[in-house]
Structure 1
Amino acid sequence: MSERSVVTSTLLGEDTGAPVRRTVLPGGLRVVTESVPTVRSVAIGVWVGVGSVDESPEEAGSTHYLEHLLFKGTSRRSALDISSAIESVGGDINAFTAKEYTCYYVRVLDADLPLAVDVVADMLTSSLIEQSEVDAERNVVLEEIAMRDDDPTDAIHDLMTERMWGDTPLGRPILGTVDSITGMARETVNGYYRRHYRPRNIVVAAAGNLDHDAVVKLVAEAFAAGGFLAGDEEPAAPRIGGAAPDVNTGVALLQRPTEQANLLLGMPGITRNDPRRFALGVLNAALGGGMSSRLFQEIRERRGLAYSVYSFAAQHAATGMFGVYVGCQPKKAGEVLDLARGVLGEVAASGITEDELASGKGQVRGGLVLGMEDTSARMSRLAKAELVYDELPSIDELLARIDAVTMDDVRELASSLLNAPPALAVVGPFDDPSRFESALH
């Protein structure tokens, strides 16, 4: 490696006494680490800046399909070799696909970090994507789709994104469809792999008992195999902004012979980088973030109408969603929806109380700080700073942003989000979506 191609910088060091450091290798591959010397393990993730939003309609499900296939063998290792190499030293290896990125992660003892880097780099750079494995894994992905369909609490979220954003990259399911996976050719998946799995799109993030320079050396050697780092590109820019898809309202119904009605109200939210995201965290906590939240108290505690009730925020580069989920007896669905809309209307009109503001801030602060006790969470934070946030504020700075949220901030955001016409997704024993139309007005 030439000095021209390698750039190392210190990002911050206030939180742990050890700095977060970042190195850019040839081809634009980034290595970001945080030293946590008080543990005896390392969490390492290889994050690729590609997700289901990057797929054409013909490629629907390719990102997730490919995630499976990269575990199926390289010229050096079989699928069994990959899993047994990590499991034989007591480590964990897995992966997940999201709308806007894909992650392959390993957690091992600090002494086994060289093995972990070698295995995951081999998978990312040298997978064979053989026809026989494409055919075999097709059945596995179809089983995963069937499992999603059998679980109404999973199916309803895909139903909502499809209802709200339609046949767009953000509206289509990460898993793809039965038709798209059944018809997926090996050439399609392999072409997707070759186009998107390039050094400029990859971030290697690690947190734990490590030395940055040693990690960089391991990564450079492992990823250089086969000339993978031979290019001269700059790192891809963080995924920020872009054109938001049109928002649809109305009711989407998936008829299932379930014992519960599964209900999900969805409203347009805010983007991942919106400065109001800290106020949104407080608002979400007050509305449906725990047992003391308004929705939980009103629907479950006071009236006993549901076991599971919560609110959530999904945030992406160009848009977002704020949602409320409730599972209840089918005959109680109308009453539950009226109650949920009533709670949302009250907060939209009047905001939250001082006690709710304090409690909401406490929940967001606690979730942030307690999450940082885990090296995997620290690793994820580093990677997302590179891929989607373009900043890595210290924990103290994040706490200050949370503490700065005011009653007016939450009230204005609630008025903006909760007054918007909602969409409704329903999974349950119903045959007529029109029976729920009144709940949207």
Structure 2
Amino acid sequence: MYRRSLPMIKPLALVLALTALLVGCPSHNGAKLQSLAKLSEQPPVTARMDIQQWRTSGGTRVLFVSNRWLEMLDVRLIFAAGSSRDPQDKAGLALLTNALLGEGTELKDANAIAQGFDQLGAEFSTSSHRDMAIVSLRSISNDPYRRSIERNEREQCQPTHLARSLLLLTEVLGQPTFPEDALARIKNQLRAGFEHDKQNPGKQARTLLFKRLYGEHPYGHPSEGTEQSIAAITQADVQDFYQQAYNASNAVIVLVGNADDATAKYIAEQIASALPQGQKLPELPAPATPTAGKSHIEYPSQQTHLLLASLGIKRSDPDYAALYLGNQILGGGFGSRLTEEVREKRGLTYGIYSAFTPMAAPGPFIISVQTKAQQSEGTLELVQQILADFIANGPTEQELAAAKRELFGSFPLTLMSNADIAGQLGAIGFYDLPLDQLERFMQQVKQVSIEDIKAAFARHLDAEQLVIVSAGPTTGQQPLPPPGERIERVMPVPEH
């Protein structure tokens, strides 16, 4: 019978260790988040944060921002444990492993874990993506959390909310048992999702699109797996994946909130020491160039889903700022060119968008639109024409200036909360970006010109070499109305 070999945590010793540090009176001279520059059209908002960076004794990278004004601490662990790490014949294993964290430990069942966090006013969550898996904790940290060594009051120390929340977190991370009943329950939930997807043409189209774009590359299979792959996954598979991917060398720890440097370092050390020991997983390979062309999924409907895609960029690509700003003009916002030409002038859709998704390996560039089935071919040609024109000529000066103003004005909203900051730090740590990435990005955006956008789009996109997937009925086609002559828009089918 398979038996896991997990690093054991001594609960009483850890309680005493956390208690010894996380009690007493806080020091209020910690670094604060610096204010964002005053909003104006020129210059752009900068985002200067006092980011502390170090590695634990075991080598885990840690990023920390102290914010003593909000009496909360956000803890986020980012593992290179997304669906791109699934074994070829076990798609969905990464998602299952992540979902089962918190379902049971050697000392507590799922109800005891949930009640434990709830009674402490703490929020625990997990999520799984293609590149990464995330474990998050938000805890109250308004009570005294550092013992005054001078007073030597160890016998009077009482564990605080933060200390107990962290103790429970380390137990969940270090002693998961992945119970068979929980595994069966989540498998059943996924099976129900697969049945729902059979009635969801948009989901079917997206699954086929990624298969077309990436083939046998780790990004090519659905993150949630398939009916066949999920059925084959066992508890032993989950335990093996946990040992390989949820180890201290394969993680980044992010701390944001009410803590000083010494406390943050102690917390990070305790979390990292609770994780299994292992090796950082290797970098993902580069995907092969996909074969351009059209694929169609026949589906009885009043409308057609259209997806146009190409390989995009890695998160570290130097063209990121130019492509991001250019895409905002092309199809990233409500006032974008695609929205104006396809939705506003012709009424062909309720919504159309385009997006680059930079990832560890080149992520996708996708244009997505739903339209009336009888005008799907004309809509596809119109979208291709708009993209080709944008690649060839770029935006206008007015479009560029408006996009910069909008970005400069909205950027502070990306740092409104500790959780927002933790998300930004997680990307910096996981993708190994410079610590001043946010400030650097805004300065790059300020300097982006029309020629920069044209050159960046030309380097990465070709309107004649797109992977195109449609899902809808085969039906006779109608000509598109001229600009300004709207037709009745088709209400999109909900996809969830």
Calculate the TM-score normalised by the size of structure 1. 0.86
Tell me how far apart the structure 1 counterparts of residues 65 and 201 of structure 2 sit (CA, whole Å): 39
Tell me which of 216, 241, 244 is aligned to 1:195: 244
**Residue number among 158, 162, 166 corresponding to 1:117 in the alignment:** 166
Q: 2:398 matched to which residue of 1?
A: 355
* Offset of residue 354 of structure 1: 0.7
2:468 is matched with 424
Which amino acid in 2 is paired with 1:158?
T
The Cα shift of 1:325 comes to 0.7
> How far apart, in 1, do the equivalents of 2:403 and 2:205 lie?
27
- 2:125 maps to a residue whose letter is N
Aligned-partner residue type, residue 320 of structure 1 = G
Does the alignment pair 1:285 with 2:328?
Answer: yes
Matched, 1:141 2:190: yes
Which one of the candidate residues 404, 417, 422 is aligned to 2:447? 404
1:23 and 1:32 in contact (8 A); partners too:
yes
- Which structure 1 segments of 5+ residues have no match? 1-9, 433-441
* Partner of residue 332, structure 1: 375
Deviation of 1:221 after TM superposition, in Å, equals 3.2
Match of 2:70 in 1: 39
Q: 1:253 maps to which residue?
A: 296
The Cα shift of 1:77 comes to 2.0
Q: Distance in 1 between matches of 2:205 and 2:410?
A: 26
SS state of the match for residue 391, structure 2?
A: helix
Equivalent position of 1:97 in the other structure: 128
Query: Which residue of structure 1 lines up, in the alignment, with residue 426 of structure 2?
Result: 383
Give 1:341 deviation, angstroms. 1.0
Distance 1:374 1:158, change over 3 A: farther
Rounded Cα–Cα distance in structure 2 between residues aligned with 1:146 and 1:221: 42
Give CA deviations for 1:350-379 in whole Å, capped at 9, x if unaligned. 111011112222344344321011221211
Query: Match for residue 5 of structure 1?
Result: none
Displacement after TM superposition at 1:407 (Å): 1.2
Distance 1:223 1:178, change over 3 A: same
| Change in 2 beyond 3 A, CA 1:364/1:117 | farther
**Counterpart residue identity of residue 401, structure 2:** A
Asked if structure 2 preserves the Cα contact closer than 8 Å seen for 1:281 and 1:360, the reply is no
Contact 2:83 2:223 (C-alpha < 8 Å) held by counterparts:
yes
1:20 match:
51
Displacement of 1:163? 1.4
| Structure 1 residue aligned with 2:267 | 218
CA distance in 1, matches of 2:342, 2:453: 22
Judge which range, 173-182 or 83-92, deviates more. 83-92
CA distance in 1, matches of 2:127, 2:197: 15
Q: Flag the 1:395–1:316 CA change in 2: closer, same or farther, 3 A.
A: closer
RMSD: 2.8
**C-alpha distance 171-364 of structure 1, shift in aligned 2 (>3 A):** farther
Instruction: Indicate if the aligned counterparts of 1:61 and 1:176 stay in contact, CA closer than 8 A.
Output: yes
Number of residue-to-residue matches in the alignment: 418
**1:231-242 paired onto structure 2 within 5 Å:** 236=280, 242=285
Q: Go from structure 1 to structure 2 and tell me whether the alpha carbon gap of 1:177 and 1:348 turns closer, same or farther (over 3 Å shift).
A: same
Find the counterpart in structure 2 of residue 437 from structure 1: none
Contact kept, 8 Å, 2:106 with 2:175, in 1: the verdict is yes
Bigger shift: residues 341-350 or 364-373? 364-373
The 2-side partners of 1:371 and 1:251 are apart by: 37
Q: Distance in 1 between matches of 2:398 and 2:164?
A: 50
Confirm or deny that 1:321 pairs with 2:370.
no
Deviation at 1:140, TM superposition (A): 2.0
- How big is the shift at 1:236? 4.2
How far apart are residue 301 of structure 1 and its match? 0.6
> Do the aligned partners of residues 94 and 314 (structure 1) sit closer, same or farther apart at CA in structure 2, a change above 3 Å counting?
same
Larger Rg: 2
Between the aligned partners of 2:122 and 2:336, the Cα distance in structure 1 is: 38
Q: 1:224 to 1:350 in 2, by over 3 A?
A: closer
Q: What CA distance in whole angstroms lies between the structure 2 residues aligned with 1:393 and 1:366? A: 19
Deviations along 1:97-135, whole A, 9 cap, x unmatched?
A: 111110011233334433433333222221012333322
- Normalising by structure 2, we get a TM-score of 0.77
C-alpha distance 208-101 of structure 1, shift in aligned 2 (>3 A): same
Residue 274 of structure 1 corresponds to which residue in structure 2?
A: 317
Unpaired stretches in structure 2, ≥5 consecutive residues: 1-29, 37-47, 143-160, 477-496
Aligned pair 1:298/2:347, yes or no?
no
Residues 1:178 and 1:109: Cα distance change in structure 2 (over 3 Å): same
Q: Does 1:49 align with 2:80?
A: yes
Counterpart Cα distance in 2 of 1:20 and 1:254:
48
The secondary structure found in structure 1 opposite 2:315 is coil
2:81 counterpart SS class: coil
Comparing 340-349 with 85-94, which one deviates more in the overlay? 85-94
